[in-house]
Amino acid sequence: MAIPASLCRQEPVSDSGRSPPGFKAENAENEAETLLQRGDLLALSNRLKEALETYAAALRLGPVRPGRLGTLVEALLLSYRAHEGIAPVRVRGDGQGAELCCPGCGGFLGEPVTASCGHSYCRRCLRRELLSRCRFCSQSLGRLEEEGGQKTGNRTSVVLNHLTEKWFPVQSHRAKELNRLDELLWKGQFEEARRITLEHTKSDPEDLMLRVYRAELNAGHQEFMAAIRDLNVVLSRLPDWPEGYFRKAKVLQDAGFVDDSLQLFLQCLALDEDFAPAKLAVEKILCDLLSPVPENVKEGLKEPSWSALQRTQSKPFVLGTGVEQPCCLQPSSNQNSELPKGSKYAVRTCLDKAERICELNLVEKLAKEEGLKRVSSEPLLSSQEKGALLKQKPTVSDQDLTMCDDRTKHTKQGGTMEGDAALVLLCQTVPKDLIDTSDFECSLCIRLLFEPVTIPCGHTFCKKCLERCLDHAPQCPLCKESLTEYLASRKYNVTQLLEELIRKYLPDELSERRKVYEEEIAELSNLTKNVPVFVCTMAYPTVPCPLHVFEPRYRLMVRRSIETGTKQFGMCISDPQKNFADYGCMLQIRNIHFLYDGRSIVDTIGGKRFRVLQRLMKDGYYTADIEYLEDIKVKDEEKLHKLQELHDVVYSQACSWFQNLRNRFRSQILHHFGSMPEKEENIQVTPDGPAWCWWLLAVLPVDCRYQLSVLSMISLQERLIKLQQILTYFSRNQSK
């Protein structure tokens, strides 16, 4: 009798009759994951209220891993962006962007760092991890920091840094001082940071970046009112700057204004959806809001200071009817700009406007219905400071972001990173006397940089020069820093900004350099003159020839064969007197697999046969002038008939010899060379004759000199006779 499956799946029980603790924990984890997945589906289906309830139920079963609420954040972000009519900040798609401006923050490109994708950012943007993805290509950006005295990630670009210091010394010096100030704040050295801030503020009180750092400094000393004032000034001048909203949100969060900070985090993400720190902050707040609150925390939330703060918190952001209206994060209520129709349609189809966003106090409502408890941090302001701040600016409202004048009003449709002249380098013309070709020279070939590539240590070389150096050793040619990981990634992306500067300021020199490069490529593409020759083993037409390439000279040779597009080179065996034999076979590259250390496995197949006319050498490997060989065609019908009979006899003899081999030998041959080609109807259709002849010659255990003599024959009859002699000899040995 069959037992129902449901009865077979019973919970394991311990000796006491209870489920083991491990089983319950695993069951809870599975249930939580199921609830989280259901919450994701609800969020994507516009049912945000139900999604929040489901997420809260999952969090009651235990904490979730970082990033698990990403779907909820995306749903809230789409809703916020649609409600407020905000389009993401755009960057120009025609390359690096404004000259010597950081595409991340829009400021001067001080101490430029080139990411692995080839785009350059200021050191500050990469060190603070303010950007998670490149503005142009969306590739992940590496982190720049110092650990234990050793730097990790990409360093400052030596060439670009030299150009910024030479062309714009004032801005470059200012950027370095700001970076130093940023490092002090990052390390928590507030006293030294305060001294430098006061010193620079006296000389330039209108510097917006100084205001940003001063706000961070004041926040570090819990002087939140002063920090908010500075950030309000910055945002009034730079209303499209995502980082400004992020910094203000952090100050409000530290001060205990969680609702306001969440709205500003969403404003930051609405302008830049790849602003990773803001996304993490939103997830953390949502986790706190949806997580159950211990009893001791609930008691703490009943203090008068908390109640007073709750009454003065800003109204929550909400969509729909019958709820409180949201505070406006736009600079002015009279700006009735709209989102582009395409964007509106995309958002409308993704999330229904009626259920697109849930108000932040929805969790309080759900707490009464479902037992959820609201969590927030206790304000760090004193009662007097809190009263003064709330009296001056009770909410994150229109007043916070009202523009200083009508010239700098915020446009809801989003902007570009070129916004305000205070943070963006004004378009300045580089004096001609400061443009020097030597500043753009490759230190390896001593020529103008062509396809410049900046490696992690900060040095820049021509792409071809760098590849040749890495063929010999995985380290920087100048500072000898290890490039093992860089070599393994094989991402030799051109430094876009440097290439644009060369194109703009040195067009004639670049044209001449490109002409020289094209001439070199044309020379390397010739398949009769200076043909590269790999001196290694015998190769035959139509027969596979896998190669393990590890010598630097042959790495270069194979790479050039690929770059020129020919994907071909010659193969000859060694000759003690002439360096390599008089005859060889062209190999066609079918596939190549690079190993982590620069070696490669190259899959090739034999092509045309050739005879060497002249031996040469180029960059360490042999080359040759060659002529190709072709079999002499037999036109006489009688002779052709006899040739066909000979062909059939030898083919049958070859099949018999192969079938009589031991299984081990036959399996090895099939593994390395494949099965024997079929007999062809027209034995003279190809210049090299039947393919099975070359397959047989490759697998026969004869001396390479004997094989070379057969390879050089241009008479199919002579070749068949030679093969017949060899087969007769081996068949006689098989019978013994």
pLDDT band with cut points at 50, 70 and 90 for residue 143? low
309 vs 723, which has greater pLDDT? 723
User: Which residues span the domain enclosing 582?
Assistant: 525-628
pLDDT at 110 over 70: yes
Residue with token string 């939103």: 282
- Final residue of a structural domain among 454, 483, 518: 518
- Final residue of a structural domain among 419, 447, 478: 419
Q: Is residue 264 part of a domain?
A: yes
Residues 369 and 411 in one domain: yes
Question: Mean pLDDT throughout 23-40?
Answer: 82
Averaged pLDDT of the chain: 78
Residues 512 and 532 in one domain: no
pLDDT at 562 over 80: yes
Q: What is the pLDDT of residue 630?
A: 95
Residues 390 and 245 in one domain: yes
**Tens of pLDDT, residues 183-213:** 888 888 888 888 888 888 888 888 888 899 8
Q: What is the pLDDT of residue 479?
A: 94
**Which one of 106-110, 579-583, 653-657 scores highest in mean pLDDT?**
579-583
User: Which of 213, 241, 218 is CA-nearest to residue 103?
Assistant: 241
d(CA 120, CA 527): 40
pLDDT band with cut points at 50, 70 and 90 for residue 6? very low
Residues 258 and 407 in one domain: yes
Characterize the bridge pairing of strands 568-572 and 583-594. Answer: antiparallel
Q: Could you tell me if 209 and 107 are in contact, meaning their C-beta atoms sit under 8 angstroms apart?
A: yes
Q: What is the pLDDT of residue 67?
A: 83
Characterize the bridge pairing of strands 568-572 and 531-535. Answer: parallel
**Phi/psi at 134 (5° precision):** -65, 140
Q: Could you tell me if 609 and 584 are in contact, meaning their C-beta atoms sit under 8 angstroms apart?
A: yes
Q: Is residue 239 part of a domain?
A: yes
Q: Is residue 502 part of a domain?
A: yes
Question: What single-letter DSSP state applies at residue 532?
Answer: E
Residues 254 and 345 in one domain: yes
Q: Is residue 96 part of a domain?
A: no
pLDDT at 94 over 60: no
Q: What is the pLDDT of residue 21?
A: 54
Give Cβ neighbours of residue 342 (< 8 Å, ≥ 6 apart): none
pLDDT band with cut points at 50, 70 and 90 for residue 680? confident
pLDDT at 392 over 60: no
Q: What is the pLDDT of residue 18?
A: 54
Q: Is residue 272 part of a domain?
A: yes
CATH number at residue 619: 2.30.130.40
**Tens of pLDDT, residues 635-659:** 999 999 999 999 999 999 999 999 9
Length of the chain as a residue count: 736
Characterize the bridge pairing of strands 112-114 and 120-122. Answer: antiparallel
Q: Is residue 431 part of a domain?
A: no
User: What does 534-599 look like in DSSP terms, one character per residue?
Assistant: EESS---TT-EEEEEE-SHHHHHHHHHHHHTS--EEEEE-EETTTEE-SEEEEEEEEEEEE-TTS-
Characterize the bridge pairing of strands 150-152 and 145-147. Answer: antiparallel
d(CA 209, CA 105): 11
330 vs 85, which has greater pLDDT? 85
Q: What is the pLDDT of residue 315?
A: 35
Provide the sign of the torsion angle of the four alpha carbons 502, 508, 514, 516, taken in this order. Answer: negative
Residues 530 and 508 in one domain: no
pLDDT at 633 over 80: yes
pLDDT at 414 over 60: no
Lowest mean per-residue pLDDT among 150-154, 230-234, 526-530:
150-154
CATH number at residue 322: 1.25.40.10
d(CA 670, CA 662): 12
Q: Which two tokens stand for residue 577?
A: 């007197």
d(CA 724, CA 149): 73
Beta bridge partners of 594: 600
334 vs 694, which has greater pLDDT? 694
Check: pTM over 0.75? Answer yes or no. no
**Which parts of 119-239 are beta strand (E)?**
120-122, 145-147, 150-152
Neighbours of 536 (CB within 10 A): 17
d(CA 590, CA 545): 10
Question: Mean pLDDT throughout 90-97?
Answer: 48
Q: How far apart are the first and last CA of the chain?
A: 66
Question: What single-letter DSSP state applies at residue 90?
Answer: B
pLDDT at 416 over 60: no
Give Cβ neighbours of residue 623 (< 8 Å, ≥ 6 apart): 530, 531, 532, 533, 615, 616, 617
User: Which of 466, 474, 469, 435 is CA-nearest to residue 449?
Assistant: 466
User: Which of 716, 727, 730 is CA-nearest to residue 653?
Assistant: 727
pLDDT at 701 over 70: yes
Beta bridge partners of 617: 622
Q: What is the pLDDT of residue 282?
A: 93
85 vs 566, which has greater pLDDT? 566
Q: Which two tokens stand for residue 563?
A: 């770059």
Q: Could you tell me if 79 and 356 are in contact, meaning their C-beta atoms sit under 8 angstroms apart?
A: yes
Neighbours of 448 (CB within 10 A): 20
**Amino acid at the residue 425:** L
d(CA 718, CA 645): 14
Residues 346 and 269 in one domain: yes
pLDDT band with cut points at 50, 70 and 90 for residue 566? very high
Residues 509 and 537 in one domain: no
% the chain with pLDDT above 90: 49
pLDDT band with cut points at 50, 70 and 90 for residue 1? very low
Q: Could you tell me if 710 and 697 are in contact, meaning their C-beta atoms sit under 8 angstroms apart?
A: yes
Lowest mean per-residue pLDDT among 94-103, 211-220, 517-526, 591-600:
94-103
Q: Could you tell me if 455 and 464 are in contact, meaning their C-beta atoms sit under 8 angstroms apart?
A: no
d(CA 468, CA 454): 15
d(CA 139, CA 54): 33
Lowest mean per-residue pLDDT among 364-373, 428-437, 512-521, 688-697:
364-373
Question: Mean pLDDT throughout 162-187?
Answer: 89
User: What does 284-304 look like in DSSP terms, one character per residue?
Assistant: HHHHHHHS---HHHHHHTTSH
Q: How far is CA 733 from CA 265, 652, 653, in A?
A: 84, 18, 14
Q: What is the domain count for the chain?
A: 4
Q: Is residue 72 part of a domain?
A: yes
Lowest mean per-residue pLDDT among 199-203, 623-627, 701-705:
199-203
pLDDT at 694 over 90: yes
Lowest mean per-residue pLDDT among 9-23, 44-58, 106-120:
9-23
Lowest mean per-residue pLDDT among 12-21, 67-76, 162-171, 552-561:
12-21
**Phi/psi at 85 (5° precision):** 70, 45
Residues 203 and 267 in one domain: yes
User: What does 436-483 look like in DSSP terms, one character per residue?
Assistant: -GGGGB-TTT-SB-SSEEE-TTS-EEEHHHHHHHHHH-SB-TTT--B-
d(CA 254, CA 261): 9
Residues 580 and 474 in one domain: no
**Which one of 21-35, 215-229, 608-622 scores highest in mean pLDDT?**
608-622
613 vs 288, which has greater pLDDT? 613
Q: Is residue 116 part of a domain?
A: no
Residues 214 and 295 in one domain: yes
d(CA 31, CA 59): 11
pLDDT band with cut points at 50, 70 and 90 for residue 240? confident
pLDDT at 454 over 50: yes
Q: Which two tokens stand for residue 660?
A: 């009589």
- Final residue of a structural domain among 518, 546, 563: 518
Neighbours of 632 (CB within 10 A): 12
Residues 412 and 446 in one domain: no
Q: What is the pLDDT of residue 289?
A: 87
